[in-house]
Amino acid sequence: MNTKLPPPHRIAVASYPGREATIEMAEDIAGFLVERGLSAHHASLYDDTLRRQVMERAFDLLIALGGDGTMLRAGHLCAPPQVPILGINIGGLGFLIEIGQDEWRSKVERVLNGDYWLQNRMMLRAEHHRGEEMLGSWDVLNECTIGRGEQVRPVRLFTEIDGFYLTTYVADSLIVATPTGSTAYALAAGGPILPPELRNILLVPVAPHLSIDRAIVLHEGSWVKVTVGTTHQATVCVDGQLPEPLQDQDHVEVRASEHTVQFVRLQEPGYFYRNLTSRMQRNPIVGDEG
């Protein structure tokens, strides 16, 4: 990209908690920034002070150290105040992350010189309803999954699109994903890969039994309502967070969110397909949740 953007001056360095090496790298990056006369604050991504400052737009860039899970949490935090995120990979695959941990100095220097571009990623808004009462709501960067709990029995998922009946899935779950999430759980369930810049909603059933087994791609203006029919435990889970219990006849509504995540990019816009091939030929580090 030839167009330069304004270089950041107030920078938060947020690390995945509990890893000494990650904390040390965050300190090194913050020191690197301070040496260049910039304002830098480093802390855990879950630090209350850092989170409050991000929401108050005290920073114009957040550098997130970790894996894709860290990038999801950073996206939830930074999307409402529109703070761009630069990821440094300390985790496994790093589908969402721009920089490897051994190259951060040269790449951060480029960002400080304004040599970067911003990629907008769509989010979804998910709401859990019981009758007329809304029990919870979430912004979603990857996916919202509605389905069974710990018991290995399918649930019935009465699914509507824009208020019109689509089908009743008898399945383990139904994934409602963004294009970003198309390379996550939805991909593992056999869904298509969507370019990250698209603004579409993806439906992918998981282990459907005598039900529609094809993924469906919806326009961003559509909204999805999934009503659970079950005599046993059911749950809704957003971006890999702890699942919330659902009762029989609870429903979850999902639509495009008003918020957009901004990722800092240094590669050319066609990077997605080039990186996709290399990542799909690798196995992630088992047990890595960063």
What is the C-alpha to C-alpha distance for residues 104 and 185, in angstroms, rounded to an integer? 29
Q: Return the CATH number at 66.
A: 3.40.50.10330
**Residues for the chain: how many in total?**
290
Give the pLDDT confidence score for residue 287 in this predicted structure. Answer: 46
The two tokens of residue 232 are: 């046993």
Q: What is the pLDDT of residue 282?
A: 60
Binned at pLDDT 50, 70 and 90, residue 249 comes out as very high
Residues 105 and 152 in one domain: no
CATH of the domain at 162: 2.60.200.30
Tell me the average pLDDT across 5-17.
92
Q: What is the pLDDT of residues 37-74, one digit of tens each?
A: 999 999 999 999 999 999 999 999 999 999 899 999 99
Q: Is 203 helix (H, G, I), strand (E, B) or coil?
A: strand
Same domain, 72 and 128: no
Q: Do the bridges between strand 173-177 and strand 133-140 make them parallel or antiparallel, or are there none, so unpaired?
A: unpaired
Residues 45 and 107 in one domain: yes
> Which uninterrupted H or E stretch holds 146?
strand 143-148
One domain for residues 196 and 246:
yes
Domain shared by 79 and 186, yes or no: no
Active-site residue, selected from the candidate residues 47, 60, 68, 172:
68
The model carries a pTM of 0.92
Q: Provide the domain limits for residue 67.
A: 10-116+266-280
Taking CA 53 as the corner, what is the angle to CA 52 and CA 58, rounded to the nearest 5 degrees? 155
Residues 193 and 240 in one domain: yes
CA 125 to chain centre: 12
Domain count, the chain: 2
19 shares its domain with 35: yes
One domain, residues 90 and 127 = no
Whether residue 74 contacts residue 62, with contact meaning beta carbons closer than 8 Å, is answered with yes
Judge whether 68 counts as a catalytic residue.
Answer: yes
Mean pLDDT of all residues in 107-114 = 95
Question: Does residue 287 sit within a domain?
Answer: no
Among 5, 6, 22, which Cα is nearest to 14's? 22
3-state DSSP call for residue 39? strand
Does residue 285 form part of some domain?
Answer: no
- Cβ neighbourhood burial of 40 (10 Å; 0-12, 13-18, 19+): buried
Label residue 199 exposed, middle or buried (CB < 10 Å: 0-12, 13-18, 19+).
middle
Alpha helices by DSSP H, listed for 134-281, are 185-188, 271-280
Query: Are 128 and 254 members of one domain?
Result: yes
One domain for residues 249 and 131: yes
Q: Is residue 289 part of a domain?
A: no
Whole-number mean pLDDT of the chain? 91
Residue type, 225: K
What does DSSP assign to residue 91? S
Distance of CA 282 to the CA centre of its chain: 21
Q: Which of 19-23, 145-149, 229-233 has the lowest mean pLDDT?
A: 19-23
